[in-house]
A and B are shown apart, each in its own frame.
Chain A
Amino acid sequence: MKVVTMYPEVNRDKCTGCRTCERVCPVLAIKVVDKKATVDMSRCRGCAACEQRCPVYALAMVKRDDPFTVQVKVRDEMLPRIKEICARARINPEYIVCYCTATRAEEVVAAILEGAATPEEISLATGVRTGCKVECIQPVLRLLEAAGIKPARPEGGWQWYGRTITAFEIPQAVKAKFSKRGFYFDEDIKLLDKVAKATPTKEGAE
């Protein structure tokens, strides 16, 4: 769940049309049209990635007159599928995928069940990846994969490159070579597995 309170204002005199903003936007809300950045206000989730990476400081974040909330409601009839997909991804449905918006795995899967088939569409629906922009891409990709979806990367964009390894997939040889150096691979796998299989709390079942 994300409250969208800000949007980027473009200083057209400064904008050089370099497309950096377009390449970093996690929801594809900003595009260069006629050599100037143009914001689609209905898509923008106020993450400030464009403002933070513009090489000529041509963008400024300003308050929206009409703040709104994006959220995908986890409906009861979705729960069996949510549990199934989360189990396949080895992520607990209540696991917090995005620290900035406190979005849980179950909401990400609910977005997928409602038709979101890329990280960009999931971000648009739930707000994940529109806080710090950094930490939540892997669980999003893992949950998409577990739902049987192989998303396409935005053409020419830097939004994301690919899923990476999980602890469950670390080769045995690597574990054997480095476990005496403070890398507690097997112990952490046990912990992650226990979290993934933990029974949702009373509140979680609501």
Chain B
Amino acid sequence: MRPPIKPMPPRKSQYGIAPELVKKRVADMPGITSLLVSELFPDSPKVVFPGDRGIEAVRAATEAALEKVDMSMIKPNQSVNVLTSHHGFTLVGGEPFAEMLRTIRDVVARRTGCENIRLRAGVGLRFRETEEYIKRFRLDEHYKGKASGIAPIDEGIPIETEIGTLYGIKRAYDADWIIHAHNSDVREVHFHRQVDKVVKPFGMSYARIETRSTYHHNMGPRAANFTARAIFDSPFVQDKFAFTSFLVASPSGVVGVDADNNLYALNDRLTAAGCAFYGKIMTLLGQIDECIAVLDFPCPVPYVFAAGVIYANFAGANVDLFDLDNALPAYTWYTEAFYGKGGPLVEEVPPVNPAIKMCVHNYAWGGYPSAFFAEHIPTVVVGREQADLMNRDPQNLTYMNFATIADGTDAAMRFARAVTGTDKIIIFDGAAGGINVSESLAGLLVARAPEIGRRVDQYLLPRWLEQRGMDISVLKNLKTA
């Protein structure tokens, strides 16, 4: 069996415990092996990062993608906001995403003569998070002091759309031009269902609370994505939009960079790519019959990931997340909101993935409402410090009401094995290009992968794309390795 993939190291952040308090990683324990996505699915796309050329490959891919983009609308005396958000900074360690952002600035300055280029980085529910990344990846220096975080409670600006007034963050739009810079990983596919994935940040990362609340409460789990499209289509945003650049992600790593003046053309390519690249691994993980899920990554509980798939996706993997005929995945905030006091209010609400017999929270952050996970999945938190972290987090004041504490990683894993009776372990620790699992689970996944690959190619992928009004042929224009 392969040795485990080195997990992403703990990070210093106000949203997590101090890195030195993470005494042991579960990937280092006996009986843990790893599976590469490219071995499970030999037709996985080639990656540019990680790779022999290191981070230079990302710079080269960004420069090549931007070559075909028209930047003539940007004049030397004007201002440009490069809009982005937090998610890319945890992808394969974050450096590839940071390098794409650096390269965008360099290319725009070189080609247009414009120097007033600002980085405006949106956040999820941890309002200082992008400020931490700006510092960590020295983006403030690269953007010559013009890099800052923007949050959904900052001053707003009304945006008139074809579905009425929605609200953006004023500082996202306080420039003559905007450049939309993101990554295409599908970690929160349970929310966006790979519908308008590339457009979504206009309804989230650059949007005020009113708009985000519209998405999560007013529209329904499959209609909600239209909120972002309405904002992007507004004359206000169209008058400022210059172009877009995306780091193209896959479960194996960074596949390339794609850029376009036409956001919807890119949207089609990356929507299809998302279904094609991630559909197999997500469907395969849905085959797991029983397991202990381990969180071991510097991110909030639902966002910890491995092989490009987050824990929240896995909590919903008992349902086909891409199939829009399923009204709801097993976990989204819509699902959560539909749980009445005595259980789901309607029969369309599926249960949380019953394969997860227990969750060992070895290392994960607060800063995202996560009590639902502890309430629905027996959870063991390693160490008093992490319990205290959750107890002082205004978004998680009841998380520990449902979870228990173990003194150390060994004790937590021993307890989980004894209580669940399973030795199948899946670890969400940011392993790049693959996933760390116990040998018993590796056997199951290797055995099932070929059939899952066939089923996705022949039946599921065409169905997913048809539901989104597109054809696999759009992939031929994708700029990848």
Which A residues have a C-beta under 8 Å from some C-beta of B? 2-3, 5-6, 23-24, 46-49, 52-53, 61, 63, 92, 94-97, 99-102, 104, 130-139, 142, 158, 160-167, 169-171, 174, 178, 180-185, 187-189, 191-192, 194-195, 198, 200-204, 206
Contact = CB atoms under 8 A, between A and B. Distances in A.
A53 B127 contact: yes
Given A96-B337, A158-B154, A182 B397 contact: no
A195 B348 CA distance: 10
A151 B314 CA distance: 41
A47 B394 contact: yes
Given A99-B369, A99-B372, A174-B226, A198 B214 contact: no
B293 to A, nearest CB: 21
B132 to A, nearest CB: 12
B209 A137 contact: yes
Nearest to B192: A182
B164 A134 contact: no
A105 B104 CA distance: 45
Interface string B197-227: 0000000000011111110111111111110
Contacts, number: 208
B53 interface: no
B460 interface: no
Contacts of A97: 217, 337
B385 to A, nearest CB: 15
A6 B119 CA distance: 33
B324 A184 contact: yes
B141 interface: no
A130 B125 CA distance: 12
Nearest to A199: B345
B316 to A, nearest CB: 16
B222 A160 contact: no
A182 B467 contact: yes
Given A162-B167, A162-B210, A188-B223, 5 more contacts: A95-B338, A135-B217, A135-B333, A164-B167, A191-B328
20 contacts: A6-B394, A97-B337, A130-B394, A131-B397, A135-B212, A162-B158, A165-B214, A166-B218, A167-B218, A169-B163, A178-B229, A180-B469, A182-B324, A184-B220, A185-B220, A188-B219, A188-B222, A194-B348, A201-B341, A201-B345
